[in-house]
Amino acid sequence: MRILIVNGVNINLLGLREPLIYGLVTYKQLLKNIKEWSHELSLKVKVVQSNHEGKLVDFIQKYKNVDGIIINPGAYTHTSIALLDVLKAVNKPSIEVHISDVSEREAFRQVSYIKEYCFKTISGQGILGYKKALKEIKENIEGKNK
């Protein structure tokens, strides 16, 4: 089973950016954890990151043959109809992940264009949200293949 993990704007600054909100785990450590979790779950995972909206769209189009997508678009969550449209276009099971609990943050963070397409949103679980997303997307895909 092949999963694409798409990380958006400023996710590469984990461990540096607002550690009280996003924690002290670095992006490099997150990638190491994702590799371990995907191995435990027998998943083939491709992880990409960009601070540019169009590049994120390009990644999703390029890797459209995956079985599922996990996406943390960062601030593009609240602004990007383009990311919503590309998720709809490739039509793969998708989960939205946020490290912080966006429901308890600023009002503008309550808007998620991505949520309209994703079958689940995982928020406020730190980087463990990615582990949960990997498990849930695997279960979802396996359920559809039965």
Of the residues 27, 63, 76, 98, which is catalytic? 98
Q: Compute how many other C-beta atoms are within 10 angstroms of the C-beta atom of residue 120.
A: 16
Answer yes or no: 78 catalytic: no
Of the residues 22, 27, 63, 117, which is catalytic? 22
Answer yes or no: 130 catalytic: no
The dihedrals phi and psi of 54, each to the nearest 5 degrees, come to -60, -35
Residues 112, 62: Cα–Cα separation, whole Å: 23
Please name the residue that has the structure tokens 């969550």. 77
Please name the residue that has the structure tokens 């980087």. 127
The residues annotated as belonging to the active site are: 22, 98
